[in-house]
Structure 1
Amino acid sequence: MEPNQTSPPPTLPTPTTGADDACSADVTDMAVDIVALLVCLCGLAGNGAVLWLLGFRIRRNPITVYILNLAVADFTFLLFMATSSLLYVMENVCSALASLTYARSLFLLSLFSYNMGLYLLTAISIERCVSVLCPLWYRCRRPQRLSAVVCALLWALSVAVIAAVTSLCLSHEHEHCRVALISMYVLNFIVFAPPMVISNVILVIKVLCGSQRRQPGRLYIVIFLTVLFFLIFGVPLSVWNFLQQFGYMLMSSQVVFLLACINSSINPFVYFLVGSCRRQCSLVSFQVAFWRVFEETGVMTSS
């Protein structure tokens, strides 16, 4: 639970509390946490299936490498959020100090996975945009292991960013923690979010308006929906936490974390539904749906 503070607003929010009284749980917050827990469990099952299929059942290609890493990021985020929600729902002992330590740790770990999801979506969007704008280079000159190298660099960046934030925030230096969190969100908003949005806008315009395209392929639909859902469900967490550093509280912490859980849970179902639809929609196996979605990347490059 959050500590009782009367001075500046806490710079490190926790996803496990929204009640003012440290010893009593608000009914609404409890209900939202239960819903979040259920969403996390569904998301863990879905992303677990993605990890199994893309890791062992479907041939690797440049895009599935990114999707596999995105599933890892979403799975770990949901795991931390499920643990956090479960601790809050089951908490019977009023111990604000102990709860604060666990909440801060879980929040920072969830930020690590959350940032990685943003980084990967940006890389996926740029990759597909380049494949459409420069198809000849993409087919013939693209480095074979570029996807793996980019993912490794992004994981290293995410670790470095969260390590810097953790070292400042867990030292209980509120002003330093505030500066670290603001810097992290500025990095997300300025460096990664704009290229992701711009690449998808270019991709949609090129695919829909290009004379050689009859209709957008499944992969383009999947990428567009994944980014769209991230903007709808994932971005509010960044905006909420960024504004909180300046003392603004626009909505409950439970709501933004529930939205973030939905964002990390929805991707496997997007893959399945898009892969299930042909001329007429029909339910197929999870593996067949994934094969339909990601098979088209095999003709884009020999990687």
Structure 2
Amino acid sequence: MDETITTQASLSNTTSGLTNPQEFAYDPCERPSHDILIISCVCTFISVCGLVGNVVVVWFLGCCMKQNPFTVYVLNLAIADFSLLLILLVNLLLHFIISPEYCISHYVFFMINSILFILFLFCYFAGMYLLTAMSVERCLAALFPLWYRCHRPERLSGILCGVLWTLAALFATLLFVVCFFHESCQQLFYVLSIVNFVLFSFFPFLSNLALFIKLRCGSQRRHPGKLYVTVLLSVTFLFILGFPFSVEAFIAMYYPRSYYISCLLTSLNSSINPFLYFLVGSCRQRRFQCSLKVAFRRLFEEEATREERSQKPGDAMVESSV
């Protein structure tokens, strides 16, 4: 992707783009500079690796194992990350191959950019919301295991995933409508960036980190399990890698190059989860030793095994170590 998601090139000019697309800041006939090409090549490599990793996760969870509440979130998150990376690759293809080679019109270029921008935001919001819901469930399961297992609705994960996908679609549609038919497009994007970062990145990171410290350093020390460690790592990477994307919305008009770095980090954030699943699932007694399929099965089936044990009368909750 190029100036699609920047405030200067995509958001600030959206309101005037339909009537005067020549004002769009990026020239589709111009060859990009060398530094942008290097960043784009790295972004492409990361995105391709992420696509492969997320496809493996979707295939494994969809075809090779029985679903449980945790894997429903993971499956939806992998679909969101896969879609985001695919949109990223399509936009890279548009900007660095199709546009300079065939020199498409500014209007067509701008319209395609706008559509890809909204789809990108839709997948980005959905992934953020799904990861937040997953982290909240892990916190409840770690703090109140008996209450959580007795009162949790059976189909809660599926219902929440549907609600969160719908919420992401509503926000993306709202931004699309406001940007094309109203003058407050830039302000709305600022508000969405702040709200999403605080509620669905910063707050989950702090709460999960505080819970992990409490479980490991409290009076009754116990390990919350591989699943919780995986969620904590995912939330941490979302906070670190997603922060530049949120900040970029405010500084893009002053430092245009900041967009390319934030885009690179966003692709890394959407690609890293499958590798976290493998590393945490294969880690045993501080050694990484097992196949990809075994690592995924060990990680994703842990929750079902622990729930079965916890439901037996008189059994204490068994905590597994990483």
TM-score, normalised by the number of residues in structure 1: 0.87
Q: In the alignment, does 2:54 pair up with 1:55? A: no
Residue 18 of structure 2: aligned partner: none
The letter of the residue matching 1:207 is: L
Please say if 1:148 is aligned against 2:142: no
CA distance in 1 between counterparts of 2:204 and 2:238 reads 11
2:320 — aligned with what? Answer: none
TM-fit CA distance, 1:21 = 8.9
Tell me: CA distance 1:274–1:12, structure 2 relative to 1, closer, same or farther (3 Å): same
Which residue of the partner structure matches residue 81 of structure 1?
A: 88
Q: 1:179 aligns with which of 175, 184, 187?
A: 187
- Selected match of 2:102 from 73, 80, 93: 93
Superposed counterparts of 1:1-303, under 5 Å:
9-10=8-9, 12=11, 23-91=30-98, 92-94=101-103, 95-171=105-181, 173=182, 175-244=183-252, 247-249=253-255, 251-279=257-285, 281-301=287-307
What percent identity do the matched residue pairs reach?
41
The Cα offsets for residues 154-213 of structure 1, whole Å up to 9 and x where unpaired, read as 111001110111112244x5x321122123223313433343123212321232124544
1:201–1:78 CA distance, 2 compared to 1 (3 A): same
RMSD, aligned α-carbons: 2.7
Contact 1:181 1:242 (C-alpha < 8 Å) held by counterparts: no
Q: Distance in 2 between matches of 1:251 and 1:204?
A: 37
Gaps of 5+ in 2: 14-23, 312-322
In the aligned structure 1, how far is the partner of 2:210 from the partner of 2:66? 28
Q: Which has the higher contact order (CA 8 A, sep 6+)?
A: 1
Where do 4+ consecutive residues of structure 1 move more than 6 Å? Answer: 17-21
Cα distance in 1 for partners of 2:10, 2:97 equals 26
**Structure 1 residues 14-34: Cα deviation after superposition (integer angstroms, max 9, x where no partner):** 9xx997896231111112112
Q: Which piece of structure 1 moves more, 28-37 or 154-163?
A: 28-37
Aligned length: 293
Max radius of gyration: which structure? 2
- Kept in 2, the 8 Å contact 1:131–1:300? The answer is no
Q: Cα–Cα, structure 1 residues 231 and 22, in superposed 2: closer, same or farther, change >3 Å?
A: farther
- Mapped to 1, the partners of 2:114 and 2:10 lie a distance apart of 11
Q: Relative to 1, partners in 2 of residues 1:265 and 1:282: Cα closer, same or farther, differing over 3 Å?
A: same
Specify the code of the residue in structure 2 equivalent to 1:184: L
CA contact (8 A) 1:18 1:254 kept: no
| Greater Cα shift, 156-165 or 218-227 | 218-227
Mapped contact 2:226–2:280 kept (Cα < 8 A): yes
Q: Any idea what the Cα deviations from partners look like across 1:121-153, whole Å, max 9, x if unmatched? A: 111111111111111111211111111111111
